[in-house]
Chain A
């Protein structure tokens, strides 16, 4: 319990830092949101009213405190562009993002676990080299280009899947899945490279262990030894990997969403940047970064649960 409490408390300064940075970044923006909204010919009175409405004339630290106080109460402000509450917009966008991230994680693990295990069990043989090379190529592939290539082949040359758009999963599952295939494949393949490498090295740590030799000596088949004994012990680094991946997914999702016009958090941020809609940029960045931190915490805690050895020392 104390280990858990310690980790949670250590997060508080980080979360505060995230807030300062999210606020600070957008407070130093050169362009003026009010001019952007009203146009250059706006009357001075209209500008003054609007500046007062968003409290743009207050000193920076005061604006931060007011903003931070509201954030703590779950109020991220209102969008300059649409007038809707930022929190509502972010939560709406979070659904498609999580759907895409989850699907991509499945794709990535479905490729990476078998490939990583094959590479580790056939260490330094052709299969291992092939997997390592493919993994490195995957790491080097810019995911937005991969997305463009998939659009070129699977929705333009052979129009099988739609190139962009989104449908809610519950109301129209078939259309939703068809729209999900290309973005999930893009993101999943892009992530698979890193996961293959981690699975391989995690398995390599475990395979020389005594209990593996014992399992072999007991006469268990190689398949059973690998999947039941070795994989289970390699699980801790792999869970860490999934956690890290979910974090990277949150970044990768931004890229993929803009290519496929997927209405998630990434597209929300990018659109808001172009519209100079600062409260939305701030809110979306803050929520995503907070989620990222919480995911890392969860990963830590799961590892703690999986590995009794870590509990005493922490």
Chain B
């Protein structure tokens, strides 16, 4: 990874954001929901390095608290989709037949929706909350993982060493575990990083609309929602949460790209 400046940059960006989410609120001990009534809508200052919002709440404190929420929803939606979709894909690719046909058709239906629209529909159905946003985005990610895992399982299942495994009497479960899972792991990892990027964007968008995490819990998305009402007076309210989303997403995209080149030498730039 050290040889690729992009992956390294991605790793650094992701590390900075994760560290800010983990330790930020401990270092900057201002409550994200505490109002400074003397200074609503104030610009960056010594007391409030990134300014305050319309209720006088400290933007830096809200950004740090928002980082936790955004990362948790993003990671939850990707991890859940990865486990469930990965399992569906492996089983489909390995077993084939009717199981495969039916399950993959269901995945095709999920893929047939533009992602945002599916997420909107699901949050509309389940109600607006952080958990439901994670479920909605997870459902968008699910078929992607299922397809990759299935393709890998099919690819590997045709290999001689799997045949050999069968010949020495390994059970299907053991073949899945010993041969197929390790081979499917790396493309799934790459996809997980790229999907984290898009999931964080989708989460921020749902929150921006008011269909994601509900106030007063801060997220980058609902901070942008608050900012829209004060664009002409306090433009900085719209800068900082957007920069946070952009940086985080860029980090995961760089990391995913770098990992892909590393794991798939054919796609590498230098080849």
The residues of A with any CB-CB pair to B shorter than 8 Å are 13-14, 17-18, 20-22, 25-26, 28-31, 124, 136-137, 139-142, 144-145, 148-149, 151-152, 156, 247-248, 250-252, 254-255, 258, 269-270, 273-274, 281, 285, 288-289, 292-293
Contacts and interface: CB of A to CB of B under 8 A. Distances in A.
**4 cross-chain pairs, A with B, having the tightest CB-CB distances, nearest first:** A251-B114, A17-B109, A145-B242, A140-B250
B178 interface: no
Given A28-B125, A124-B270, A152-B231, A18 B120 contact: no
A46 B48 CA distance: 54
Contact of B117 (A20, A30, A137, A250): A250
Contacts of B208: 144
A258 B224 contact: no
Interface in B132-162: none
B137 to A, nearest CB: 13
A14 B238 contact: no
Nearest to B102: A13
A8 B256 CA distance: 35
A287 to B, nearest CB: 11
Given A140-B249, A273-B124, A14 B117 contact: no
Nearest to B241: A145
16 contacts: A14-B105, A20-B109, A21-B113, A25-B122, A26-B125, A29-B124, A124-B269, A136-B254, A145-B224, A145-B245, A148-B227, A156-B231, A270-B120, A285-B113, A288-B117, A289-B117
Interface residues of B, number: 46
B235 interface: yes
B249 to A, nearest CB: 4
Interface of B: 6, 105-106, 108-110, 112-117, 120-127, 197, 201, 204-205, 208-211, 224, 227-228, 231-232, 235, 238, 241-242, 245-246, 249-250, 253-254, 257, 269-270
A68 to B, nearest CB: 15
Nearest to B210: A274
| Chain A, interface SS category | helix
Would you call the interface of chain B mostly helix, strand, loop, or mixed?
A: helix
Given A148-B224, A273-B124, A142 B245 contact: yes
A252 B202 CA distance: 11
A17 B105 contact: yes
A141 B250 CA distance: 8
A248 B253 CA distance: 18
B121 A22 contact: yes
B120 A273 contact: yes
A270 B205 CA distance: 12
Contact of A292 (B112, B241, B254): B112
B125 A293 contact: no
A17 B112 contact: yes
B5 to A, nearest CB: 9
Given A136-B254, A152-B238, A254-B114, A142 B231 contact: no
A269 B112 contact: no
B63 to A, nearest CB: 14
A141 B211 CA distance: 20
Contacts of B124: 25-26, 29, 273, 281
Contacts of A142: 201, 204-205, 242, 245-246, 249
Contacts of A293: 112
Contacts of B270: 124
A79 B108 CA distance: 29
B109 A251 contact: no
A113 B161 CA distance: 44
